[in-house]
Amino acid sequence: MNILIAGGAGTFLNNILIKLHKEGHKVSVLTGNRFADKDAYQKNFEVYKFQYDASCLNEIFESVSPDVTIFMGAFDTNFEWKNEEADSVKYTASLANILMGYAMRGKGRFIYLSSHEVFGDNHDADITENLMTSPDGFRAQSIYQGEQMCENYRSNRDMDIVTVRFDHLYCIPEKRADIKDVVTSMCLEALEEKTIHYAKSTFLSPLYENDGVEALYRIISCAKHNADVYHVSASNQISEEELANLVRDNMNPECDVISTPGTSAYRCVLSNRLYESEFGNPRFMDLATIVKRIATTMKKKAYVFLTDEETGLSFTQRLKKKLGWFISTMIPFLENVIIFIPCFMFYNRAAESSYFARLDIYLLYVLLFAIVYGQQQATLSALLAVAGYFFRNTYEQTGFRLLLDSNTYVWVAQLFIVGLSVGYLRDQIIKLRKENEEEKEFLKQQIEDIQVINSTNVRVKDVLETQVVNQTDSVGKIYGITSSLDQYSPEEVLFYAARTVSELMKTEDVAIYQVSNADYARLFSSTSAKSRVLGNSVRYTEMGDCYEALRNRRVYINRKMDGRYPLMANAIFENDEMQMIVMLWGLSWENMTLGEANKLVIISALIQNAVLRANRYILALEDQRYEEGTKMLEKDSFRTLLDAFLKAEKEDLTECSVIRVKTDQSNRADVIGIIEKSLRTSDYLGNLGGSEVYALLSNTTEEGATFVLNRFLEKGLEAAIVEEGTI
């Protein structure tokens, strides 16, 4: 999907970006700030550095064409809420502009992120979505007004707009600016003041950011939803006193935990029931575990959180950073005084020399600083020169006589006139240069804006080109779809290849078999129950006419409608050896033509390229993937493979089971050897970091895994089938 997120950089937004990128979505970010640092955002598709009131907002929506638009709302770091009245107006106007841009496009889903702050009163029971809100303060009222604006657009224009309220969201901070929630604030207080304050009789339910991201993703990716407002909460009540004690135990047991006087009873815990009834339980992280991580991070980077500065800077660098403006200002004055000393000494010597008597070293000295630094330093150098001149000439005559000498005033006037004139010209030149640079930067920004706006015209042209190239069944269309396999990891390519064939061949029943030896091929991925009708293993050499056609590198077309064979099949070869067989069911009679057969050949060849790249990548890392001397995958490699199988199983592209076998150091090698001999060539053996060994059985149901389990038990191994969701 194409997803547009509007919000300033922060830990919550970056965690959302990481999740969406991991799931393979194309994400664009509208920063809301023209001067935003692009590097502050996690990897994404495109960053639009525009304010929310930019005139080209509609063009951005047209350019991105988002299926889902997310406004960070209560968690948008562009709004610091230091001047609450001004930020309140800015917040409401920004949301109105984004909603207008979304409404102009007229399709896709809009998600507004709200928070528990819209409920300011005490609530004895968990707060449900239909309870009356009670915002307290400009920030809470602005967030609530945002909800109302979304509700107006939803009801009046019948748009797919969802409001998601998060309950006391907290994070593992990376810097001091990330500390905005009650959990991290207590940790910082313990770090700074060795005391922790809490509000008595106050109860809340903190929600970890990563859990919030997982919950939000289910709303983003769902095909449809039943409600318009959802609460996302850990639903585990804890008092601020208990939280303060938990923070103290992890941060510093010597901290004092102090109750804040004058606080009334307050309980704000959002109910998670509506969300769980529709999307299930996201399995929220334990608060104590995350507090321990926060404490470890903040104590390790204490300097960052105490000073809000980067670590690794030397004392000189930190001093320069703090006093940089003062040092940079003082350097010209110091240079002026230092250069004056040799000029003064030279003037004293030159006054007695017949060769240098007419050389006015002070005039040159003033001119030098006028040219380099301008009027300010020219004035200082002229004053120093006058002081040096008077000091030297008092050797030969009294100061009173020197003051009565008209030549003295002529020389001083000459010195100041020349110095100030040259300094003025220098300052004007620098000013003109700065103005030119500013104008250049402004024009450069205008050009960038024009380029962004013009992207709409370019996209229209591209659409017309696409309509010409991507005619039905054209090679361009086929290549465009098959190349999407490149976005998947090497372990996932074959799973999604079946879905790609299904899309291109216009059938819901596709299976891909991997040839395991000279007689048998084993099912790797499939798109439906019908496509698995031949079973997990097929002896393809006994498939009569089908095998003959595949062996001769022809596409098999089941014109006799023989129920034992697929309606169409094609083999993929590598180095004259059959590697895979693509089988199709559910084709209409009109599509069982030579043209469709040729299309299947092209599709198979393009899929083969993606599979070959994936296999070569895996082969190149083979030494790093397996434990030395065994066929057991290392932890990271096995986890990646296991995640690929589980994800494909959820999408009904395969079936798999996992058996866990307990081992210890004394029998580990023997157990691995026994398991290796008991597994098929299509199964995998690996570990997840502990002493246990895991067997991943591909295309095997729990019933089929029972036979393998009994085989392990008969050989004296302590094994069990791992239930889904517990790995």
Helix/strand/coil for 553: coil
**Is 726 inside a domain boundary?**
no
Same-domain pairing of 487 and 430: no
Which range marks the domain in which residue 152 is found? 2-166
Range of lowest pLDDT (102-111, 156-165, 260-269, 304-313) = 304-313
Burial class of residue 74 (count of CB atoms within 10 Å of its CB; 0-12, 13-18, 19+)? buried
Same-domain pairing of 483 and 409: no
Token digits of residue 102:
């979304």
pLDDT at 612: 67
pLDDT at 261: 78
User: End of a domain among 409, 437, 465?
Assistant: 437
**Is 537 inside a domain boundary?**
yes
| Cβ–Cβ < 8 Å for 374, 428 | no
pLDDT at 412: 83
Helix/strand/coil for 197: strand
Q: How far apart are CA 385 and CA 376, in angstroms?
A: 14
pLDDT: is 714 or 653 the higher one?
Answer: 714
Same-domain pairing of 399 and 481: no
Q: How many CA atoms lie within 13 A of 73 on its CB side?
A: 30
Per residue in 108-123, pLDDT (tens digit) is 899 999 999 999 888 8
- CB within 8 A of 116, min separation 6: which ones? 127, 165, 166, 167, 168, 233, 268, 270
Radius of gyration of the chain (CA): 37
Count of structural domains, the chain: 4
Alpha-helix residue ranges (DSSP H) falling in 158-223: 182-193, 209-221
Helix/strand/coil for 687: coil
Same-domain pairing of 104 and 153: yes
Q: How many CA atoms lie within 13 A of 536 on its CB side?
A: 15
Same-domain pairing of 29 and 102: yes
Per residue in 308-327, pLDDT (tens digit) is 665 445 556 656 666 666 67
Q: How far apart are CA 260 and CA 268, in angstroms?
A: 18
| Residue 337: pLDDT over 80 | yes
Inter-CA distances, 251 with 209, 247, 299, 314, Å: 20, 6, 7, 27
pLDDT at 524: 78
**Is 225 inside a domain boundary?**
no
Helix/strand/coil for 715: coil
| Cβ–Cβ < 8 Å for 28, 90 | no
Same-domain pairing of 631 and 550: no
**Above pLDDT 70, what percent of the chain?**
83
| Residue 397: pLDDT over 70 | no
Same-domain pairing of 572 and 665: no
| Residue 154: pLDDT over 60 | yes
Token digits of residue 516:
């395991």
Position 71 confidence tier, pLDDT thresholds 50, 70, 90: very high
Per residue in 477-486, pLDDT (tens digit) is 455 555 555 5
Question: Domain of 64: which CATH number?
Answer: 3.40.50.720
Same-domain pairing of 607 and 637: no
With a threshold of 0.85, does the pTM exceed it? no
Position 470 confidence tier, pLDDT thresholds 50, 70, 90: very low
Inter-CA distances, 19 with 293, 559, 619, Å: 20, 47, 28
Range of lowest pLDDT (209-213, 353-357, 518-522) = 353-357
Token digits of residue 423:
């300094």
| Cβ–Cβ < 8 Å for 163, 144 | no
Across the range 445-450, mean pLDDT stands at 69
Position 216 confidence tier, pLDDT thresholds 50, 70, 90: very high
Helix/strand/coil for 109: strand
| Residue 547: pLDDT over 80 | yes
